[in-house]
Each structure stands twice: as C-alpha cells, then as structure tokens.
Amino acid sequence: MAGSPEEMAKHKRLYLIVGIWLGVFSCVAISLGVFPILDVGPPGATWEDIVIGLGVSGIKAGLVSWIYMHLNHEKGLVYKTLVFTIIFFAALMGLTLFTLFDPIKESYPTIQTLRGLLTR
C-alpha cells in the first residue's frame, strides 16, 4: 500500500478515475435497456443486446477486480485461478445458450400441462 502522502494522493486519483468510469459504464448499461433507439435488432431482448450488456458488465467487473480488489499486484497463482474461472464461466454460458438449440420441445404451453392449476 501507499506509504507517503504522494503515493496516497496517486491512489486516490486512480480510485476517483475508476469510479467515474464505473459510473459512465453504468449509465451506458441503463441507456441500452431504457432507450429504444439504442436497441439492437428487433424490439425486446435479443442475443445482440445480451452480448452488449454482458460486455459492459464484464468491463465493469474487470475494473473493480483489477483496481479495487488489487489484482494488479498479485502473484501468478491468482491469475491462473482467474483464467480458470473465466473459462468455466464461458463454458457455463455456452451450455446455457446451447439449450436454445434443444431438439426436444414441448408441443403445448406449460400452463396446459398443469391442467389449469395456474389459472384457477
């Protein structure tokens, strides 16, 4: 950590800059969901919107972990664990998106399978 007042001022300035960028990316994420002009593709959530939203969230998570959690000063084992976590996360997201191509679909709505229990 910082020992002298100059180093502390440098860290405070870095935290302020990262905080401003986090605010900017939060405004971008909110704007993507609120304003229809920024909607990519047809109205509603599409895969393009999800990719853009996850990209913005990934940038914000990277900034927080890199600066506020001090990962920029860690040893190699932490980076290996982080890379494994990112690969595992990407595999789980791919598995989740893989369900969109599932050939086994219900031939009728789920409410009908409950014989009207949800509509009573």
CB-CB neighbours of 53 under 10 Å: 15
For the chain, how big is the Rg over CA atoms in Å?
22
Q: Is residue 14 part of a domain?
A: yes
Q: Is residue 111 part of a domain?
A: no
Average pLDDT of the chain to the nearest whole number: 82
Q: Is residue 84 part of a domain?
A: yes
Q: How far apart are CA 53 and CA 103, in angstroms?
A: 28
Q: Is residue 115 part of a domain?
A: no
Q: How far apart are CA 84 and CA 86, in angstroms?
A: 5
pLDDT higher than 60, residue 105 = yes
pLDDT higher than 80, residue 108 = no
Q: How far apart are CA 100 and CA 93, in angstroms?
A: 12
* Total domains, the chain: 1
Q: Is residue 75 part of a domain?
A: yes
Burial of 105 by CB count in 10 Å (0-12 exposed, 13-18 middle, 19+ buried)?
A: exposed
Q: Is residue 11 part of a domain?
A: yes
Q: Is residue 33 part of a domain?
A: yes
Give the pLDDT of residue 40: 78
Q: Is residue 62 part of a domain?
A: yes
The pTM for the full model equals 0.60
Q: Residue 97: which domain range?
A: 5-102
- Asked if 18 contacts 63 with a C-beta cutoff of 8 angstroms, the reply is yes
